Amino acid sequence: MSKKNRQKIVPGKATSRIGDSREVVLKEQPVSYDKQKPSWRFARFDSDCADWGLDTLKKELESVLGCLRSYEDHTWQSIKTMTHGKKGKTKNHTVGINKLTKKGRRRLNDIKNDDIEEVFSLRYNGLFRIIGLLRGEILYILWIDPNHEVCETKN
C-alpha cells in the first residue's frame, strides 16, 4: 500500500478501510456499568412473599440498611470481585434461575418474573442475602433472604 492510500489510525475514532477516507468520530464510549456505584430500587420488591417479603424486611431492616450502605462506596466491578472464606469464594454474583431452589423458582413464577435468566445475590454476612435483578447500575431488590433459602447451596 502506498503512503498516499494509507489511513491514519486515530485513537477514539473509527475509520473505514475499504476505499473510504472519511473518519467517523465516536461521540460516546459504551457505558460500563461495572464502573458505576450501585443504586437500589424497591419498585419490584415482592412485598407479599411470606418468606422473603415485607415481614422479613421489617424484621431485618437494620441488617438490610447495613448491607446496602456497606456497598455504596464501591463500584459494581469491586462488588462483583469481593471474596470471602479460605477458598476465596465470590460474595456477590449472578445466579442462574436453574440454581434457585424450587421455592425460589415457584415464587418467580407467582410474581410473573419467570422470563428472566438470572438474579443477583448480594451477600451481607453468613447466610444473609439480598436477591434482586441487576439492570445497569441498579439492583431492583426482589427479596430479603436472611437464611439463604432462595439459592441452592453446595454442601
Q: What is the pLDDT of residues 111-151, one digit of tens each?
A: 998 889 999 999 998 899 999 999 999 999 999 999 999 99
Q: Which helix (H) or strand (E) holds 57?
A: helix 54-59
Q: What is the pLDDT of residues 51-69, one digit of tens each?
A: 999 999 999 999 999 999 9
- The string of pLDDT tens digits covering residues 1-16 is 555 555 555 555 454 4
Angle value at C-alpha 147, between 146 and 153, nearest 5 degrees: 130
pLDDT at residue 129 in the model: 96
**Residue 67 near residue 38, CB atoms below 8 Å:** no
Model confidence band, residue 155 (pLDDT cutoffs 50, 70, 90) = low
How far apart are the C-alpha atoms of 12 and 35, rounded to whole Å?
A: 19
* Residue 21 pLDDT: 57
- Average pLDDT for 80-91: 90
| pLDDT computed for residue 114 by the predictor | 81
What was the pLDDT predicted at 99? 95
Identify which of 151, 33, 135, 140 has the alpha carbon closest to the alpha carbon of residue 90. Answer: 151
* Mean pLDDT of the chain, nearest integer: 86
Per-residue pLDDT at 18 exceeds 90:
no
